Structure 1
Amino acid sequence: MDNFKAFGNSLSSIGQQITPFASRTFQYTKEQLGQAEDKTELPPDYIDLEKRVDALKQVHQKMLTVTSQYSHEAYDYPANIKESFSDLGRTVSEKVQLLSSATTPAEAQAALVAPPSAKPQPKTFSHAIARASLASSQLLHQQHTGAGEDPLATALEKYALVSERLGEARLAQDAQIQSRYLAGWNTTLNTNLMFATRARKNVEKARLTLDSVKSRAKGNTWKIGPNSPRDDHHTTEELSPEAQEEIEKAEDEFVTQTEEAVGVMKNVLDTPEPLRNLAELVAAQLEYHKKSAEILSELAPIIEGLQVEQEANYRKSREDAS
């Protein structure tokens, strides 16, 4: 213990002749070693603000860890799918148009593998379903030998077109979320909360400076009576005017930085921007799901009609056979 006290005293004496940064470093080291006699306490309201800001920061980090996936087009694209360059060359709508004008199996095949007209098609789950459905539809069409069209092939082609529309709706949702939610939350995390962190660091620097000044002043002017034991009852502090002025200056700076940090933290906590951004996230999701429901509602009766017609034809063929 005597060694620690000696070390602490040596830090105090060295601290008199060093820069403010080094002085704060010495003060911090003394506190970590338990050698600081006094440590200025932060106001309870300030500490409460710090806790709330820390919680808000964690919320942003946790939510962005998940929702940042909206920035990656292929977040729902199945990993086991192996699609070729030709598969991704044209949209399903373009391929259907080309297929409608094909008169031979060779022309139909050429339509399916037509060279790209623009950038590769999106890698989303719905787009992948669309491409798989169209390819499946053509397989059935090519092998169909009966009268009329194969009902399943027809249904799959219609499902392919609808799935592509669903994929486009999902991409529209993602674009809205990126611009109206992710951008805002990233700004709060990387700008507003960073300002709060910087302000809090300034408070800690001011506190360490204040405590180092106090420690140095006490260490320089502490006087103990010749016949008195060294305790709180017989210890007096006689500060020189210069030391008192230095302490007051450090106290003023501490108060100024604390008040500024309080203002910054309150502004971060009170701003409605995060909640507004979250509302935009929900609105984008709602719009997407409503659009999806509308698209599927258009398709469902068509598929059901094809199913009913096929079942009726099936029953009739069985009756005729019997």
Structure 2
Amino acid sequence: MDKVQAFGKNFSASFQPFAQRTQQYVKEQLGQVDEKTQLPDEYIELEKRVDALKQVHQKLLSVTSQYSNEAYDYPPNIRESFNDLGRTISEKVQLLSHATSPAEAQAALTAPPSAKPQPKTFNHAIARSALAGSQLIAQNSQGEDPLATALEKYALASEQVGEARLAQDAQIQSRFLAGWNTTLNTNLMFATKARKNVENARLTLDSIKAAKKAQAKGDLDNLSEDARAEIEQAEDEFVGQTEEAVSVMKNVLDTPEPLRNLADLIAAQLEYHKRAYEILSELAPVVDGLQVEQEASYRKSREGA
């Protein structure tokens, strides 16, 4: 029985402030309140900055979260089979180098996977398409065909670019997305909770003021000592929660983590584009050389004709 009574008292003690705050909030929404305790200008300014920071995180994360999706640039219109995704381009080229007949070459292209299926990225898809094209030309040509050779080299380079893109994505996930999600879901949530505590303290204070004013028939000078003490206690709680929220919001706004994370995002993108540039820079003169040789051969054959 004592436990039941204790529970009833605890429930009543926790429910009453909630009911008072709710009633005060409803009155404010209905415009039935003449006065409302004002928040400090510094606090209001910090709220605006925190809200802006939250929106920035939400908007950029809504886009950059695609870096967690391997196939974000994979063409939706192509259809690749399980065998197409079976082996890496490097493995297929190695198998093709040992093929002695069209049947063996086809078997090399469709060899079962040695590990997990190959990535579905735009560059990997280009690589697979280029290698298939290379072998189709080679199988229907007599001798070495320069276009088939160029396509095979392009396939190998495209696969390398695709792997560089996956490396970029992994870096962005660990160094940018993780950090910004932590700021959004932890640091900014702490600020939201602190602000909620301030709002609750203000509603409580204003509800107590309104109740005591009603009891004194609008004359605050006639308040009893107990009533004054209750108001002062609510004011102290409001001030304390406000100071705590200011501290939390300043900490969220001053932390260098978001900017550090953004620098990591840019660094990962830079490294990827740098690596792609290096790969294609090595490939371009090789293909240019094949093209020059083919043109020279073509002109020579036309002159002979």
TM-score band, normalised by shorter chain: over 0.9
Provide the C-alpha distance between the structure 2 equivalents of 1:222 and 1:63, rounded to a whole number of angstroms.
54
Return 5+ residue gaps in structure 1 as ranges. Answer: 1-17, 224-234
Provide the C-alpha distance between the structure 2 equivalents of 1:109 and 1:139, rounded to a whole number of angstroms.
9
Kept after mapping to 2: 8 A contact 1:89/1:117:
yes
The match for 2:194 is 199
Decide which of 23, 27, 30 is 1:30's aligned counterpart.
Answer: 27
Shift in Å at residue 35 of structure 1?
Answer: 1.4
Decide which of 247, 251, 258 is 1:263's aligned counterpart.
Answer: 247
What's the Cα RMSD here? 0.9
Shift in Å at residue 124 of structure 1?
Answer: 0.2
Provide the C-alpha distance between the structure 1 equivalents of 2:213 and 2:32, rounded to a whole number of angstroms.
14
SS of equivalent to 1:237: helix
1:111 and 2:108 matched: yes
Q: For 1:76-155, what aligned pairs fall within 5 Å after superposition?
A: 76-145=73-142, 148-155=143-150
Kept after mapping to 1: 8 A contact 2:24/2:207:
yes
The match for 1:14 is none
SS of equivalent to 1:250: helix
Provide the C-alpha distance between the structure 2 equivalents of 1:188 and 1:25, rounded to a whole number of angstroms.
30
The match for 1:226 is none
Decide which of 195, 201, 211 is 1:216's aligned counterpart.
Answer: 211
1:283 and 2:239 matched: no
Shift in Å at residue 236 of structure 1?
Answer: 5.6
Kept after mapping to 1: 8 A contact 2:134/2:152:
yes
Across the two proteins, how many residue pairs are aligned to each other?
A: 291
SS of equivalent to 1:222: coil
Kept after mapping to 2: 8 A contact 1:218/1:237:
no
Kept after mapping to 2: 8 A contact 1:181/1:277:
yes
Return 5+ residue gaps in structure 2 as ranges. Answer: 1-14
TM-score by length of 1: 0.89
Provide the C-alpha distance between the structure 1 equivalents of 2:264 and 2:151, rounded to a whole number of angstroms.
35
Shift in Å at residue 140 of structure 1?
Answer: 0.2
Shift in Å at residue 106 of structure 1?
Answer: 0.8
Shift in Å at residue 37 of structure 1?
Answer: 2.7
TM-score by length of 2: 0.94
SS of equivalent to 1:80: coil
Q: For 1:152-231, what aligned pairs fall within 5 Å after superposition?
A: 152-222=147-217
**Poorly superposed stretches of 4+, deviation over 4 Å:** none
Deviations 1:173-231 (A, max 9, x none): 000000000000000000000000000000000000000010111111126xxxxxxxx
Structure having the larger proportion of residues in helix: 2
